[in-house]
Chain A
Amino acid sequence: MKLSEAGGRRSYFLGKLIRYSLTLFLILSLNFSLPRMMPGDPVVNLLGDEALHNDPEMIEKLRAEFGLDRPMHIQYTDYLRSLSRLDLGYSIHKSHSVADLVAYRLFWTVVLVFPSIVIGALLALLLGSLAGFKSQSRSDLVLTGLALFLYTCPPFLLAMVLVSVFAFHLGLFPLGNLTSGGRTGVEYIADVAWHLFLPVVTLSLLGASYKFLVVRNSVVQLLEEQFVLAARAKGLREMEILTGHVIRNVLPPFISMVALSFGFMVSGALIVEIVFSLNGMGTLVYDAVVARDYPVMQGCFLVLTVSVLAANLIADILYGIADPRIGRTS
């Protein structure tokens, strides 16, 4: 019994690992093949529009240097080899190596995304279960209406409205940027927190809206179950039923939903950063799109997708450890 359980668990993790490796392979291959297959000259697709300012001779030299005249499979192994050295190419537009650019920006995007995921998830769980518990009450209608509105709201619109109201008209928060500069220690951290307050609020609200609706629906559904009736018949208090019986059943799918929302949150963060002009991945992507700076775009795509993938993998492993049912044959 004990042995087969361990085996089931192992095969669960193995299955996950295979799935993630395949996705990683898919992402790497996409990143490799897009500039080479898409319409346009691969030299431009790999180096950005500014490569064209060089004379034709130079372009041919670049073509040889990047091995674009060699067979695909050799190009592919070269590509993987340079990735293993964390070489993401060079941006002519920014005259900087892409890996350096991305490393600095990624930190700030993570600083923005993580608090937002946690706050958004807690907000959704708390308000969602309350709204579901008191469904059709006035507070439920208000909260659900609000969540539905936020759900339909494009990220940049919410960000723009919040900046306009709280920073521009009320002057409570800075209009953008990460710091006011010239501070150190605790003061610096407080300053950054003040600058990041509105972006985190925006992203938390966007992340919470959909999760709120799902939690509310599942609570409404669970309240109609027999075990809730039994708990009521036993004379448990309503709060005990909610926390001990209903939320316990909501939690496992909720945790995996939060884990799966990493991609959505990162996508939202890109947009929110652009509006707040924070120096994260979003502004980097935005500048790259405007300048058709393809190496930066590719680097960002690779780093963002791989980080989301890694976050999902960690969440899946934690979930597998936390849920005792996994690995048991039903």
Chain B
Amino acid sequence: MMILHDRKRIPYKVSPLRLTGWLILIFFLLLALLAPFIAPQDPCKTGTPYLPPSPDHLLGTNDIGQDILSELIYASRVSLAIGLLAGFMSIVIGVAVGLLAGYFRGWVEELLLAIGDLVLLIPGLPLMIILAAYLSPSMWNIILVVGLLWWCSTARVVHSRVLQLRNMPFVEAARALGCSDRYIILRHILVNAKEIVYAKFALAVASAMLTEASLSFIGLGDPLNISWGEMIHFAFSRGGFANDMWWWYLPPGLLICASVLGFVLISMEPNSRKFLEL
């Protein structure tokens, strides 16, 4: 009975909020992939600096005369890539820790959860700032720093889901049939925790994008791969903000909001009045 109940397929209904999230993300994905075809100009080409918006430059030009709209479109590649890769890294670590801790219990569980708690207690941004400051400023180092420090909450959620699953009859049956631990974890437990893992992945990407934006804003971004956060850094430190050039700092900021919102929306449970479960 229990097994039947667990296998019962709930008809998949896409909630309007989730659909909105997917539409936002598809838009950004297309923007990033088709950047060379959409961008009106080469984002590296320099010209007259600090131009206000005009038909030639719809969002004006920045401090070294690059077209801001084209820079914005190309920056979507960097911001999304950092978010997705750092989110993926943190999810892999978090799921591995959660699975091992929940399945093996005992001292493995104690140790892994204690490490997670320790990392959770250290405030994130100061630690990331100091790590990023010692590493050379590159996109990959930011991915590494964010990914290595954002796994704890994922590990906790996966761990508690595994605790629910590990004593269920179908897991016991698999164990009685002589399946190996590896097989049970990968084919039975992970599969049943996948909903949580997907939702957590979307939220991890959202957090990673916000963290990357803050790090880049402080000036720790990759100077060769400009992200949205870094565009705002330059607008802030090179006079765009002081001179009220909102067309320089507002569009990248709103795109950060929109893409983070997209990832938050797709993480929501369908048919639920709840909004977030972090």
* A contact set with B: CB distance below 8 Å: 19-20, 22-23, 26-27, 30, 34-35, 38-40, 45, 135-136, 144, 148-149, 151-157, 160-161, 164, 168, 210, 213-214, 216-217, 220-221, 262-264, 266-267, 270-271, 274-275, 285-286, 289-290, 292, 294, 297-298, 300-301, 304-305, 308-309, 312
Contacts and interface: CB of A to CB of B under 8 A. Distances in A.
A45 B118 contact: no
Interface string B119-136: 001111111011101111
A282 B43 CA distance: 31
A285 B129 contact: yes
A64 B134 CA distance: 22
Contacts, number: 152
Given A149-B257, A160-B241, A289-B220, 15 more contacts: A19-B117, A27-B122, A35-B134, A45-B134, A135-B273, A148-B264, A153-B256, A154-B257, A156-B217, A213-B275, A270-B218, A292-B133, A300-B126, A301-B127, A305-B126
A271 B217 contact: yes
B273 A220 contact: yes
A286 B241 contact: no
A232 B225 CA distance: 59
A308 B236 contact: no
Interface of B: 114, 117-118, 121-127, 129-131, 133-136, 206, 210, 213-214, 217-220, 229, 232, 236, 241, 244, 246, 249-250, 253-254, 256-258, 260-261, 264, 273-278
Contacts of A264: 123-124
Contacts of A301: 126-127, 129-130
Interface centre among A157, A220, A292, A309 (most CB of B within 10 A): A157
A-side interface mostly: helix
B261 A152 contact: yes
B52 to A, nearest CB: 16
B126 A151 contact: no
Interface centre among A35, A221, A274, A275 (most CB of B within 10 A): A274
A275 B236 contact: yes
Nearest to A275: B236
Contacts of A304: 123, 126
8 contacts: A30-B127, A38-B134, A39-B135, A152-B264, A154-B253, A161-B253, A298-B130, A309-B121
Contact of A34 (B131, B220, B246): B131
Contacts of B129: 285, 289, 297, 301
A22 B134 CA distance: 24
B130 A217 contact: no
Nearest to A268: B125
A156 B250 CA distance: 11
Contacts of A274: 217-218
A144 B123 contact: no
A26 B118 contact: yes
Given A148-B264, A285-B129, A308-B123, A168 B244 contact: yes
A45 B136 CA distance: 12
A154 B213 contact: yes
Shortest 4 CB-CB contacts between residues of A and residues of B:
A263-B123, A267-B125, A157-B253, A38-B134
